[in-house]
Amino acid sequence: METIRSRSTLLVRDTATDGRWPEWAAKVLSLGVRTVLDVPLMTTADTVGVLGLYSTAPDAFDTDDKAVAHILARHASVAIAAARREASLAQAVDARKLVGQAMGILMERYGVDGDRAFAILRRYSQDSNTKLRDVAQQLIDTRHLPKQT
């Protein structure tokens, strides 16, 4: 958690002698871990995780190990950012499909054009404080617009 909060690398050279987090160190030491190297996984927006390296030997990581850990962390951060962007894009495409289907239902049922169908969905979304995607999904599932209170 300290690595995420501070957005900086954390090295515990020996859990048997490090006094910063005694309860954590005791638990980790009981598992046989003596050295911990945590490198933050950062995107431009935030810290998305930590690359944690552990050793059963005290003071196990040298300068080269730290450099390799930073390179791996950068690669992992890029992969995580790309996966998040892909997931976000997929959600946007799915939402757009749902809204398009719902607009088609309204256009066919009420004889309105695309702009008017979208305006109807948007109004229901705003009036009910419901995401546009969810209003569209409800219309597709039930073939009725949500009840307004």
Q: How far apart are CA 5 and CA 37, in angstroms?
A: 15
The mean pLDDT of the chain is 94
Position 149 scores a pLDDT of 58
Confidence category of residue 43, pLDDT binned at 50, 70, 90 = confident
If pLDDT is split at 50, 70 and 90, which confidence band does 148 have?
low
Whether pLDDT at 45 is above 90: no
Interval 59-92: pLDDT, tens: 999 999 999 999 999 999 999 999 999 999 999 9
- Report whether 111 contacts 74 (CB < 8 A): no
DSSP state of 148: P
pLDDT digits (tens, 9 = 90+) for 88-106: 999 999 999 999 999 999 9
CA atoms of 115 and 94, how far apart (whole Å): 20
Total H helices, total E strands in the chain? 5, 3
Is 41:76 a contact under the CB 8 Å cutoff?
yes
Q: What is the pLDDT of residue 134?
A: 94
Q: Over the stretch 15-33, which tens digit does the pLDDT of each residue have?
A: 999 999 999 999 999 999 9
Average pLDDT on 111-129 reads 94
